[in-house]
Structure 1
Amino acid sequence: MINCAIAGLGRWGRALVEAARHEPRLNIVGAIEPDVIGARDFCRAHGLRPAASLEEVLASPEIDAVLLATPHSLHKTQVIAAAAAGKQVFCEKPLALRRTDAAEMFAACRKAGVVLAVGHNRRFWPSMRALRGIVASGELGTVLHVEGHNSNENSQGITAGWRLSPEESPGGGLTGAGLHVLDGIVALLGPARQVYARLARREAGPPPLDTAMLAIEFVNGVSATLATIRATPFYWRVHVFGTKGSAEVLDEVTMVLRKSGEAPATVRYPALDTLAAELSAFADAVEGRHPFPVPEADVLATLGVFEAALRSMQTAQPVACQ
């Protein structure tokens, strides 16, 4: 049994608590949440002991791991403190907005001998798992280009908070939903060499009406484009183009395969609770069964593209990735 505490009981933190109920090896017993009154009923219903601070949790010998569903600006301090206390760490994405900060967090956890798992939950979509397998098998031939898109309509409800902050949410929708697509493309192609990015703001808001577009050149020679629009209803697309065919993921379970001389084939995979799956993968990593399937190299490569994209948006020039 891995006894855990969770920091942050907003919408996503509560979703993680619910998902953990399907992983018997994780036992979430404590919670740190500034809105104590607002979280009181949820804590009572899920048997969570409220803690006054993360420091209190880290000092407890009863706690083996911490789940961080906090703003990314807090992650570096929290992750390094957890590592120093010998606690295993699951941290929601984005781990950081700077590659160097993320590298420091991984180094601290490596030195302490604890796991640092980053919650890129869409890696666990059955369709995205299948896409990685198809690309790795060579079924599509030589991969030439990838197109990605994420829209999720969340800007219509944004009137305050971190998503309107240039410091907390630079790059428009790229910081939130767009990072999912970027991580998905990096998982397929590895590190990037250069990116050219544009951020177009129709209105400052609230609600914000902006679009972000990236054109990326990867080290292996493959090109990619990525777009994200916060004001449009949910749409997801990762489309890989190769010399023998293409594969297009459209949601958690749907993929369209296209090959020369054949009609497009739509494949639907069995649905999966992706949050429960990533927490199970975290438990596997803590127990030493398998490494967490979002490797450090991919996290750093994704943030390298992200940082370069932000600089490109400011300079209107292509920028080399770290």
Structure 2
Amino acid sequence: MLRAAIVGLGSWGQALVSSVQGKSDALRFVAGHTRTPGKVEGFCRDKGIRLAGSFDEILSDPTIDAVVLATPNSQHAEQIMQAARAGKHVFVEKPFTLESAGARAAIDAATAAGVVLSVGFNRRFHPSVRQLRERVRSGALGVIGAILSELTATTAFYRSGDSWRLLPEEEPAGVLAGIGIHLVDSMIDIIGRIAEVYCVTAHRAGPHGDDTTSLLLKFENGVTGHAFCSNAATRNYRLAAYGSKGFAEVINPTMETFRFIPAVQGRASHTAQIPEPEVIETHGFSSIAEELTQFARCALDGRRQPIPLDEILHGVCVFEATVESARSGQPVLVKS
């Protein structure tokens, strides 16, 4: 059992704890730290978590094997390095870091310390997304022309005006850091490295700044992509790949539905009846619990990192280019 400390006990930090506490045979949260302990004393008591007075106290505790960071984005790089140097395995919520220099330094620190390092891209671990990845990589869809994705929610209407998530230095490019980065990571995972990005943001319905972000992407292998995300629109999720032999998608906010439709062959394909889709339903799966469980098993068993470190770094480079594009209004080449 991996003994972990949660650092940052806001709503998402609590969600991470609740996903596995008392349910997993791989990871157990034994300690926590937050800037506002008075707000979470009851939660920690119910979950059997003792509150530490500082991050340093967490790092110096030999009974803690790993730290899970759900802290403001700008703190991630330094906290990862501190934890790695203390010999702790590290799981950090997305975005991994806000800048590529910090990402490289964090990865180097973890590699030098020999600890497992992972990031909260839980959607990679969902069976529906794995189905889509396998169909693309196996060639079942033929030559991929494009990948499209969308992720929307209504969180903008319920966020406190003093939340750090509203600070542009913490969440640049609209809702890229909050939700759009999931879409970018999924496309890197399924299609590969991104060469160029163009980003536009808009303030539509939410009360606090830009709430809508759209990206056009060009991949190194020639595939094109589009990602749309908003935290001020009806909740939805879709990830779809279009190929010469078929079309496949993951749909529904819970990602529970995978569909594959083979292409109609022949010159009259526009008038032919579309084949019945193959549909695979996965209900009740917690990708949040799965990402933490896989992280723990890697730490306990010495397995390969749950998400390749080069893909984590590339994702930060894409994030950096996207922020630059949103600011300049121009397409930007990804530097990595």
* TM-score class, shorter: over 0.9
Provide the C-alpha distance between the structure 2 equivalents of 1:190 and 1:99, rounded to a whole number of angstroms: 18
Residue in 2 that maps onto 1:193: 195
State the 1:196 CA deviation: 1.2
Residue in 1 that maps onto 2:258: 255
Provide the C-alpha distance between the structure 1 equivalents of 2:314 and 2:115, rounded to a whole number of angstroms: 21
Instruction: Calculate the TM-score normalised by the size of structure 1.
Output: 0.95
State the 1:270 CA deviation: 4.3
State the 1:222 CA deviation: 0.7
1:117-145 CA distance string (max 9 Å, x none): 11111111221111111111111011111
Q: In the alignment, is the contact (CA less than 8 A) between 2:202 and 2:213 conserved in 1?
A: yes
- Find the residue that maps to 1:96 and give its secondary structure: coil
Is 1:125 matched up with 2:138?
no
1:275-306 CA distance string (max 9 Å, x none): 22111101111023532332112112222222
- Find the residue that maps to 2:211 and give its secondary structure: strand
Provide the C-alpha distance between the structure 2 equivalents of 1:157 and 1:139, rounded to a whole number of angstroms: 42
Provide the C-alpha distance between the structure 2 equivalents of 1:32 and 1:159, rounded to a whole number of angstroms: 21
- Find the residue that maps to 1:247 and give its secondary structure: strand
1:198-252 CA distance string (max 9 Å, x none): 112347x624453211111111111101111221111111110111011011132
Q: In the alignment, is the contact (CA less than 8 A) between 2:2 and 2:300 conserved in 1?
A: no
State the 1:11 CA deviation: 1.1
Identity %: 38
Residue in 1 that maps onto 2:48: 47
Is 1:279 matched up with 2:292?
yes
Aligned equivalent of 2:173, options 168, 171, 174 = 171
Residue in 1 that maps onto 2:270: none
Provide the C-alpha distance between the structure 2 equivalents of 1:241 and 1:71, rounded to a whole number of angstroms: 36
Q: In the alignment, is the contact (CA less than 8 A) between 1:159 and 1:206 conserved in 2?
A: no
- Find the residue that maps to 1:94 and give its secondary structure: coil
Provide the C-alpha distance between the structure 2 equivalents of 1:240 and 1:134, rounded to a whole number of angstroms: 9
Extract unaligned runs of 5+ from structure 1.
none
Provide the C-alpha distance between the structure 1 equivalents of 2:204 and 2:31, rounded to a whole number of angstroms: 43
Residue in 2 that maps onto 1:7: 7
Which amino acid in the other structure matches residue 11 of structure 2?
A: R
Provide the C-alpha distance between the structure 2 equivalents of 1:286 and 1:69, rounded to a whole number of angstroms: 19
Q: In the alignment, is the contact (CA less than 8 A) between 1:147 and 1:225 conserved in 2?
A: yes
Q: In the alignment, is the contact (CA less than 8 A) between 1:284 and 1:291 conserved in 2?
A: no
Instruction: Calculate the TM-score normalised by the size of structure 2.
Output: 0.91
Q: How does 1:75-224 map to 2 (within 5 A)?
A: 75-160=76-161, 161-202=163-204, 206-208=207-209, 210-224=211-225
Is 1:313 matched up with 2:326?
yes
**Per the alignment, do residues 208 and 156 of structure 1 end up closer, same or farther by CA in structure 2, a change over 3 Å counting?**
farther
Provide the C-alpha distance between the structure 1 equivalents of 2:19 and 2:29, rounded to a whole number of angstroms: 11
Aligned-residue RMSD, C-alpha: 1.6
Provide the C-alpha distance between the structure 1 equivalents of 2:139 and 2:303, rounded to a whole number of angstroms: 25
Structure 1, 5-14 or 264-273: larger mean CA deviation: 264-273
Provide the C-alpha distance between the structure 1 equivalents of 2:217 and 2:102, rounded to a whole number of angstroms: 23
Extract unaligned runs of 5+ from structure 2.
265-274
